[in-house]
Amino acid sequence: MSRRWRDRAACKGEDLVLFYGPGEGEPRETPQEKEARVQRAKQICRSCLAQMDCLDFHLQVSAAQYGVAGGLDEDERRAYRRRMQRKTARERRSP
């Protein structure tokens, strides 16, 4: 899978903490701080020309289990992946 979509990423040059949260050894954020941070990251994703490519990459290739990517947080990506798996299973079963 080509990663040229990264050239169009709206998050290029942004602080990674905004998308992935504080790193190990850094002060933890409160749930309210996390929610505000995630919403700011998703706002950037909404303006991103590479959003669908980024989402595809994070659903199919990336091992990232947390953080905002493709406009979705980790829980939303897991739910999206499950929906896609169910849809694929249904399509395989149908004649």
CB of 8 to ligand SF4, least distance (A): 8
CB of 90 to ligand SF4, least distance (A): 28
Return residues touching ligand SF4 (CB under 6 A). 9-11, 19, 44-45, 48, 50-51, 54, 69-71
- Choose between 29 and 59: whose C-beta lies nearer to ligand SF4: 59
Coil, strand or helix at 3: coil
CB of 81 to ligand SF4, least distance (A): 16
How many whole angstroms separate alpha carbon 72 and alpha carbon 78? 9
- Choose between 61 and 89: whose C-beta lies nearer to ligand SF4: 61
- Choose between 28 and 46: whose C-beta lies nearer to ligand SF4: 46
Q: Residue 49 corresponds to which amino acid?
A: L
Give the distance, in angstroms, between the CA of residue 88 and the centroid of all CA atoms in the same chain.
Answer: 21
Q: According to DSSP H, which parts of the chain are helical? A: 16-20, 31-46, 51-60, 74-93
How many whole angstroms separate alpha carbon 90 and alpha carbon 84? 10
- Choose between 40 and 86: whose C-beta lies nearer to ligand SF4: 40
